[in-house]
C-alpha cells in the first residue's frame, strides 16, 4: 500500500494543483479548463505525458463523467439518486468499482470484485480541500485519482448550488 495526497487551493476559479506521494514529491499535475458549461480536467504525469482526461457531460440530471486514460482504457462515473442516499458508480475498464462509506464526508473504501483496491478520505481541519488516496492495487491508481477528482467536483457543484 502507498498513498497519494491532494491539497487544493482555498480560493480558486479552476483547479490547478499537484498530486504528491508520501515523500511530498509531485507525481501528477491536475489542470482544469475554465468553461461556463461542463468541466474538463487534464491530469498529466510529472514527465509531461498525459495520464487521463475527465469530461463532465452536460445536460444530464445527475452528474456524469467520461474518463479517457492514455493507455486506451476508459471509465464512466455517474452519481445515482435514491430516496435516502446518494451514491456513485464507476465503471473502469469494464469493471464496476463499488464504493462503501460516506461519500459526502469523502471517507470511503473502493472495491473491485469484492477486493478492496483503495480508500479515499478527506482530512478534517485542513486549510483547503486535502485528500488522502490509499492505493492497495497499483492497477487502479489512476482510476482512484479520477474518482477522487470527480467526487470533489460533485461536492463543489453542490456547495455552489
pLDDT of residue 14: 61
pLDDT value at 91 more than 70? yes
CA angle 37, 128, 2 (to 5 degrees): 100
140 phi/psi in degrees, rounded to 5: -105, 10
pLDDT grade, residue 13 (50/70/90)?
A: low
Stretch 117-137: mean pLDDT: 84
**For residue 68, what are the β-bridge partners?**
53, 74
Count up the domains in the chain and report the number.
1
Cα–chain-centroid distance for residue 130? 12
Residue 156: pLDDT above 80? no
Could you tell me the three cell numbers for 76? 464512466
Reading the block at residue 113, the C-alpha cell is 470484485
pLDDT tens sequence across 18-65: 999 999 999 999 998 866 667 899 999 999 999 999 999 988 888 899
Q: What is the pLDDT of residue 37?
A: 66
134: which residues sit within 8 A by CB, 6+ positions away? 1, 2, 3, 118, 119, 120, 121
Nine cell digits for residue 119: 480508500
pLDDT at 111: 94
Domain with 84 in it: what CATH number?
Answer: 2.40.160.200
pTM of the predicted model, to two decimals?
0.90
Model confidence at 128, pLDDT cuts 50, 70, 90, reads low
- Cβ proximity of 135 and 27 under 8 Å: no
Range of the domain at 12: 2-160
Helix (H, G, I), strand (E, B) or coil at 121: strand
Which of 2-6, 107-111, 156-160: highest mean pLDDT? 2-6
What's the pLDDT at 9?
A: 64
Amino acid at each position: 500500500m502507498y498513498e497519494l495526497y491532494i491539497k487544493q487551493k482555498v480560493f480558486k476559479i479552476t483547479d490547478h494543483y499537484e498530486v504528491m506521494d508520501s515523500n511530498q514529491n509531485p507525481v501528477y499535475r491536475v489542470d482544469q479548463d475554465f468553461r461556463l458549461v461542463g468541466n474538463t480536467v487534464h491530469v498529466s504525469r510529472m514527465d509531461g505525458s498525459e495520464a487521463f482526461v475527465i469530461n463532465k457531460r452536460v445536460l444530464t440530471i445527475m452528474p456524469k463523467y467520461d474518463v479517457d486514460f492514455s493507455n486506451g482504457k476508459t471509465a464512466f462515473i455517474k452519481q445515482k439518486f435514491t430516496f435516502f442516499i446518494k451514491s456513485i458508480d464507476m465503471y473502469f475498464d469494464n469493471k464496476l468499482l463499488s464504493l462503501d462509506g460516506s461519500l459526502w464526508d469523502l471517507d470511503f473504501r473502493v472495491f473491485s470484485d469484492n477486493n478492496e483496491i483503495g480508500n479515499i478520505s478527506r482530512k478534517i481541519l485542513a486549510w483547503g480541500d486535502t485528500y488522502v488516496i490509499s492505493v492497495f492495487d497499483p492497477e487502479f491508481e489512476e482510476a482512484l485519482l479520477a474518482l477522487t477528482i470527480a467526487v470533489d467536483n460533485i461536492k463543489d457543484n453542490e456547495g455552489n448550488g
